[in-house]
Structure formats: structure tokens, C-alpha cells
């Protein structure tokens, strides 16, 4: 299953603790990306939440190949995150 498909199956807003393992980055990195506007996020009072559908769309938009193996997709996401940090 591809990462964007995993996200599409999630219900409700996600916390940074939920998103970090899916994208294989630290929770701190997720907060940093949200603060910099690099990843779609919602601010609810002092909390940061993530819409699974928005994250799936965000990942698809950054995918260099429409259909690649899940492990390759994870590597691609890690590379993207490293480039933006």
C-alpha cells in the first residue's frame, strides 16, 4: 500500500505523532515543516492538526512517479524532507 493510500484511510484530524511515522521523519521535523508552511496543516488554538486527505494530495503532488513501490516512495519522501530542511 502506498503512503497516500494509508493516509486516505485515516479518519479525523491527525496529530504530529501520527504523521511522523507515516512520513518516516521526527515529530519535531513535522512541527517545523508545518510552521514553515511546507506541509498542509491546521491550527486549532495552540494545537497543530493534519487533514489526512490534504496530506495525501500533498504527497501525490510531490511524487516524481505516479506508481512506484512503497519502499521507493518512502525513500522519495525522505529525500524531499531532507532537501527542504
Phi and psi of 18, rounded to 5°? Answer: -80, -40
Q: What is the pLDDT of residues 2-58, one digit of tens each?
A: 777 777 787 888 999 999 998 899 999 999 999 999 999 999 999 999 999 999 889
Stated as kind and residue range, the H or E segment containing 68 is none
Q: Determine the Cα–Cα distance for residues 65 and 19; give it in Å rounded to an integer.
A: 22
Q: What is the pLDDT of residues 47-79, one digit of tens each?
A: 999 999 999 889 888 876 555 455 555 565 566
Whether the CB-CB separation of 49 and 42 falls below 8 Å is answered with yes
Sign of CA dihedral 26, 31, 32, 38: positive
Tell if the pTM clears 0.75, that is, is over it.
no
Amino acid at each position: 500500500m502506498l503512503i497516500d493510500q494509508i493516509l486516505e484511510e485515516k479518519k479525523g484530524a491527525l496529530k504530529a505523532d501520527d504523521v511522523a511515522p507515516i512520513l518516516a521523519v521526527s515529530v519535531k521535523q513535522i512541527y517545523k515543516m508545518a510552521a514553515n508552511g511546507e506541509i498542509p496543516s491546521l491550527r486549532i488554538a495552540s494545537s497543530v492538526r493534519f487533514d489526512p486527505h490534504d496530506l495525501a494530495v500533498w504527497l501525490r503532488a510531490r511524487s516524481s512517479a505516479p506508481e512506484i513501490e512503497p519502499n521507493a516512495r518512502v525513500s522519495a519522501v525522505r529525500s524531499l524532507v531532507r532537501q527542504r530542511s
